[in-house]
Structure 1
Amino acid sequence: MTGLLDTLFDGLALGSVHALIALGFVTVFKASGVLSFTHGSLLLLGGYLVALLHDDLGFAGALALAVLVTAAVAGALDRLVLQRIGTDPHAAHVATIATIGVDIVLATDLTRRIGGDLLSLGDPWGDAVTHLGPTTVADSRIAAVVVSAVAIGGVFALFRYTPWGLALRAAAEDAEAAALMGVRLSRVRMLAWCLAGALAALAAVFLAAFPAPGLERTTGQLALTAFPAAILGGMASPVGALAGSLLIGLTEALVTGYQSDLRFLGDGFGDVAPYAVMVLVLLVRPAGLFAAKGAARV
C-alpha cells in the first residue's frame, strides 16, 4: 500500500509539471491554430539559463530571469518568424511545420552548449525528502505540485479575468469576428507564445530536479510527453489539458512503479505508455475528453 501511495504522489507531481507544458500547447493553439513543436527547445533553454545563472543570481533570480528571457524568445519567434507566414488556416498548417525547423535549430545549439554534461539548476530542494505518514516524498515533488498549482491557477485567472484572456477566448471562438471588434490578433497570439515559453521554463526546473540527475541535452524531449495530454483534453481546452496531464502523469508513474509486473509488454513500454493511453482515449472520444461538440481535429 505504501508503494502505491508513493507512486500515486509521483504521478500527481509529474502530471502537474506536464500540465504547465500542456497549457502552453493549448494556449498557443487557441490563439493561433498552430501546433507548436518548439516547446522542447524552449524548455531546454529555460533550464539551461537557470543552470548558467544560479551561481551569480541565486536560484530565485536565475529562475525569474530565465522565465522572462524564454518568454521573450518565444514571443519573438512568433512575431518575427511565424506571423510572417500568415494567419489564415492554411498558414497555420505551414507554421506548425515551421515550428519543427525552429525547434531543431534551437535544440541543436543548446545541446552543443550542454554537451555530455549534467547541469545542476541549484534548486533549494536538493535531494531532501519529507515523510508524510507512511510515505516518503521528495521535497522537489512537493514543490512541483505547489508551484504548478499556483502557476496554473494564475493562468486560469488570466484567461478568465483579464482583457487579454477575453481577447484570447474571442479569437479562439471566431478570429474574424474578433478582429472586426477591434481585437489585435497579432498581439494576442504573441502574448500567448510568451506565456507558453514562460511555462516551459518553469517546468524545466522540476523535470531536472531530484530524483532526476540534472539538466542534460535530452531533457527537452520530455516536453513531448505533455503533447498527448493536450491532445487528450481536446487541444483547445485548458481544463482538458489539466485533466489529460494528470492522467498521463499517473500512467507514467504506475508503469514505472510496476514495470516488473508489466514486463510482458516490453522493457520500453514506459516510453510509449502516454501515447498508448492517448490512442485508447481517442478511439472513444476522437475530439478529446473536453472538446466542444462539433470540434474537428486538425
Structure 2
Amino acid sequence: MTGLLDDLLGGLALGAVYALVALGFVVIFKASGVLNFAHGSLLLLGGYLTAVLHDDIGFAGALAVGVLATALLAGVIDRLLLRRGDPDPQHTAHVQTIVTIGVDIVLLTDLSRRIGGDLLVLGDPWGDAVTRVGPVTVADSRLAAIAVSAGAIAVVFGLFRYTRWGLSLRAAGEDLEAAALMGVRLSRVRTLAWCLAGALAALAAVFLAAFPAPGLERTTGQIALKAFPAAILGGMASPAGALAGSLLIGLTEALVAGHQSELRLLGEGFGDVAPYAVMVLVLLVRPTGLFGTKGAARV
C-alpha cells in the first residue's frame, strides 16, 4: 500500500511538471497552428542557464534569468525565423513546424557541446531533503513541483480566462481568419504565446533535473517529448485537456516504473514507451483526444 501511495505521489508530481510543458505545446498550437518540436531544446536552455548562473546570482536569480531568456528566445524564434518575409503565416503552419525541427537541431547541438557528459546541479533549495506524509516518505522536490506547477497552471488559466490576450487566443484557436477580421492582432497573440511557452518550459526544467533525478544532462530535453502525448491526449488545442492528459501520462509512467517486475513480459524498456501506448489506446477510442471536438468542414 505504501508503495502504491509513493507511486501516486510521484506520478502526480511528474504529471504536474509535464503539464507545464504540454501547456506550451497547446498555447503555441492554438495561436499559430504550429507544432513546436524545438520545445525540448528550449527547456534544456532554461535549465542550463539556471545551472551555470546559480553560483553567481543565487537560485532565484538564475531561475528568473533562465525563464526570461528562454521566453525571449522563443519569441525571437517566432518573429525572426518562422514569420520572416511571410505575409500570411497562418496558412504555412506546416512549413513552420518543419522549421522548428531545424531550430531544435541547432539548439540541441550547441547545448550538448556545452554540457558534454557532465551532470549539472541547478542549486535548487530542496536538494535531497525528504518529508514524511503519513506512511509515505516523499522528496521535497516533488512537493515543490506539485505546488509550483499548480500555481503556474492557475496563473496560465487565469490569463486564458480573464485577459484580453486570453480572449484573443481563444478566438484565434477557433478560427484564425475570423479572429483577424474581428480585429485580433494575431502577430502579437502568437508571439506572446511563444514567450509564455518558453517560460513554462524553463520552469519545468528545474523539476525534471531535481532530486531524485541526478541533475541536468544533455538528454534532459528529450524528457519533454513525453509531454507531447499528453497534449495530443487532451485534444492539442485544449488547455484543460493538456492538464488531464499530463496527469494521466505522469501517473501511468510512475505506476509502470513502480511495477516493472510484474510487467517484465512487456520488456524492460516498457516504461519509456508507456506514455505513447496510452496515447494510442485513447486515440483509438477518441480520435480527437479527451477534450477534442470534431470540426465541421464545408464542401
TM range (shorter): over 0.9
1:111 pairs with 2:112: yes
CA 1:147–1:295: 2 relative to 1, 3 Å = farther
- Partner SS, residue 260 of structure 1: coil
Segment drifting more, 80-89 vs 97-106: 80-89
Paired AA for residue 35 in structure 1: L
Q: Distance in 2 between matches of 1:4 and 1:189?
A: 42
Unmatched 5+ stretches in structure 1: none
Contact 1:85 1:95 in 2 (8 A): no
TM score, norm. by length of structure 1: 0.97
d(CA) in 2 for partners of 1:75, 1:89: 16
- 2:92 aligns to what SS in structure 1? helix
Q: TM (normalized to structure 2)?
A: 0.97
How many percent of aligned residue pairs carry the same amino acid?
Answer: 80
Post-superposition shift, 1:88?
A: 4.8
CA contact (8 A) 1:70 1:198 kept: yes
Say whether 1:61 aligns with 2:89: no
Aligned-partner residue type, residue 156 of structure 2? V
CA pair 295-252 structure 1, distance change in 2 beyond 3 A: farther
Match of 1:259 in 2: 260
Distance apart, 1:170 and its partner CA: 1.0
Contact 1:71 / 1:197 at 8 angstroms: preserved in 2? Answer: yes
| Alpha-carbon shift at residue 84 of structure 1 (Å) | 2.4
Structure-2 separation of matches of 1:149 and 1:286: 28
Please name the residue that 2:224 is paired with: 223
1:12 matched residue in structure 2 = 12
What root-mean-square deviation, in Å, do the aligned CA atoms of Structure 1 and Structure 2 show? 1.1
Paired residues, number: 296
State the one-letter code of the partner of 1:81.
Answer: L
- Distance in structure 2 (CA, Å) of the matches to 1:161 and 1:295: 28
2:181 maps to: 180
Asked whether the equivalents of residues 233 and 242 of structure 1 are also in contact (C-alpha less than 8 Å), the reply is yes
* Deviates most, 176-185 or 274-283: 176-185
Q: Which amino acid is 1:175 matched to?
A: L
In terms of mean alpha carbon deviation, does 174-183 or 7-16 score higher?
A: 174-183
Q: Is contact 1:11–1:251 with CA below 8 Å preserved after alignment?
A: yes
User: 2:90 touches 2:176 (CA, 8 Å); kept in 1?
Assistant: no
Q: Structure 2: how far apart are the matches of 1:65 and 1:295?
A: 44
- The alignment status of 1:72 with 2:75, answered yes or no, reads no
Q: Contact between 1:114 and 1:217, CA under 8 Å: does it hold in 2?
A: yes
Counterpart of 1:145?
146
Deviation of 1:292 after TM superposition, in Å, equals 1.8
